[in-house]
A and B are shown apart, each in its own frame.
With several copies, the nearest count.
Chain A
Amino acid sequence: MIRVLFFARLREQLGTAALELEHDGVSTVAAAREALVARGGEQWQLLCADNIITALNQEVVAGDAPLQDGDELAFYPPVTGG
């Protein structure tokens, strides 16, 4: 299983803070995004926006980063702290 997290505006728009995704057939971050859109419907296209950041095990990664069972994958909008 991949643990998937959503934050801030994205969390509110999707109405979901966290979910579990089967690891089978989801070998990269990009594949996880596609699986989430396929499963969630049109609203989940939000995950494909240019400015959405992906973090794998709490480090920012690109779409081709490989996923392993037990990974933590986060999607979030541009940060605004400080």
Chain B
Amino acid sequence: MTEARTEVRVQQADFDAGRELDELRLQSRRMGAIASFIGVMRDLNEGDSVSAMTLEHYPGMTEKAITTIVGEARERWPLGAVTVIHRVGPLQPQDQIVFVGVAAAHRGESFAACEFIMDYLKTRAPFWKKERTADGERWVEARAGDESAAQRWQEQ
């Protein structure tokens, strides 16, 4: 396989998932599978209604951490183009937060790599969510379930 493209973007602006998927698809004539994931802001967390959110990040390190995660995925599976976009700044319910798209020759690899990248991004990339509820603002707590989702890849 020739060097496949990895694109990582951290941005305040929204993204067009359809355009990203088209770009992944048209990068190669050999990739039969594109798995993707979009994380969406929910209006409910820990049982409380959430009206808005702000995403803080560590500029520079976020891109570096995500690029490292994609590199680890490439060591595990033969992949084509990969695109990861993560938004920062103020967000509203139903806004897109993150996009991960993975092209591969076959679907098993694209699914596994897409889920791997999300599990690692959730637990390794320096982003923090602060949400607004009726009681004011609060930092979102990390979930034990996210850590165990990432850990399970180390047992394989």
Q: Verify whether A and B have any Cβ pair under 8 Å.
A: yes
Docked-complex contact B128 and A8, CB < 8 angstroms: yes
Docked-complex contact B58 and A81, CB < 8 angstroms: no
- What residues of chain A lie closer than 8 Å to B130, measured between beta carbons? 8
Check A7 for interface membership: any CB of B closer than 8 A: yes
In the assembled complex, the Cα of A60 lies from the Cα of B129 at a distance in Å of 20
| 25 A-B residue pairs with CB within 8 Å | A7-B58, A7-B128, A8-B56, A51-B142, A55-B126, A58-B58, A58-B61, A74-B61, A76-B128, A77-B139, A78-B141, A78-B142, A79-B123, A79-B125, A79-B127, A79-B128, A80-B140, A80-B142, A81-B57, A81-B62, A81-B126, A81-B128, A82-B86, A82-B98, A82-B122
In the assembled complex, the Cα of A51 lies from the Cα of B128 at a distance in Å of 14
Q: Tell me if B's interface is mostly helix, strand, loop or mixed.
A: mixed
Check B64 for interface membership: any CB of A closer than 8 A: yes
Docked-complex contact A58 and B60, CB < 8 angstroms: yes
* 8 Å CB interface, A16-71 against B: 51, 55, 58-60
Q: What is the 8 Å Cβ interface bit string for chain B, positions 116-140, against chain A (1 contact, 0 not)?
A: 0010011111111110000000011
| Distance between A3 CB and nearest chain B CB, rounded to angstroms | 12
Give me the interface of A with B, judged by CB distance under 8 Å. 5, 7-9, 51, 55, 58-60, 74, 76-82
Q: Which 6 A-B pairs have the closest CB atoms?
A: A81-B127, A78-B142, A8-B128, A58-B61, A82-B122, A80-B140
Closest chain A residue to B66 by CB distance?
A81
- What residues of chain B lie closer than 8 Å to A55, measured between beta carbons? 58, 61, 126
Check B97 for interface membership: any CB of A closer than 8 A: yes
Docked-complex contact A79 and B60, CB < 8 angstroms: no
- What residues of chain A lie closer than 8 Å to B55, measured between beta carbons? 81
Closest chain B residue to A60 by CB distance?
B124
| Distance between B88 CB and nearest chain A CB, rounded to angstroms | 9
Check B89 for interface membership: any CB of A closer than 8 A: no
In the assembled complex, the Cα of A7 lies from the Cα of B61 at a distance in Å of 12
- What residues of chain B lie closer than 8 Å to A77, measured between beta carbons? 128, 139, 142
| Distance between A57 CB and nearest chain B CB, rounded to angstroms | 9
| Distance between A47 CB and nearest chain B CB, rounded to angstroms | 16
- What residues of chain A lie closer than 8 Å to B146, measured between beta carbons? 82
Check B71 for interface membership: any CB of A closer than 8 A: no
Closest chain B residue to A74 by CB distance?
B58
